[in-house]
Amino acid sequence: MKIITYNVNGLRSALSKGFAEWLGQEQPDVICLQETKAQPEQIPLLEFEALGYRCYFFSAKKKGYSGVAILTRIQPDHVEYGMGIEKYDDEGRVIRADFGDLSVMSVYHPSGTSGDERQAFKMTWLEDFLVYAKDLSKNRPHIFLCGDYNICHRPIDIHDPVRNANSSGFLPEEREWMSRFLDSGFIDTFRHFHPEEPDWYTWWSFRSNARANNKGWRIDYCMSTEDAKPRLRDAYILPDVKHSDHCPDVLVVE
pLDDT in tens, 18-56: 999 999 999 999 999 999 999 989 999 999 999 999 999
Catalytic residues: 148
Which pLDDT does position 7 carry in this prediction?
A: 98
Residue 139 CA neighbour count, 13 Å, CB half? 5
Contact 249, 166 (CB under 8 A): no
Q: What is the model's pLDDT at position 27?
A: 98
Residues spanned by the domain of 199? 2-253
Q: Which residues contact 25 (CB under 8 A, 6 or more apart)?
A: none
pLDDT confidence of residue 218: 98
Q: How far apart are CA 52 and CA 72, in angstroms?
A: 8
- Sign of the CA dihedral with 23 first, then 26, 29, and 34 last: negative
3-state class (DSSP) for residue 119: helix
Residues in the chain with pLDDT < 50? none
Please tell me the predicted confidence (pLDDT) of residue 6: 99
| pLDDT of amino acid 145 | 98
Q: What is the pLDDT of residues 146-175, one digit of tens each?
A: 999 999 999 999 999 999 999 999 999 999
Query: Please, how many CA atoms are within 13 Å of residue 248, restricted to the half-sphere of its CB?
Result: 22
- CATH classification at residue 39: 3.60.10.10
**How many degrees, rounded to 5, is the angle at CA 221 between CA 220 and CA 224?**
165
The dihedral sign for the CA sequence 101, 97, 71, 228: negative
pLDDT of residue 68: 98
Q: pTM to 2 decimals?
A: 0.97
- Quote the number of domains for the chain: 1
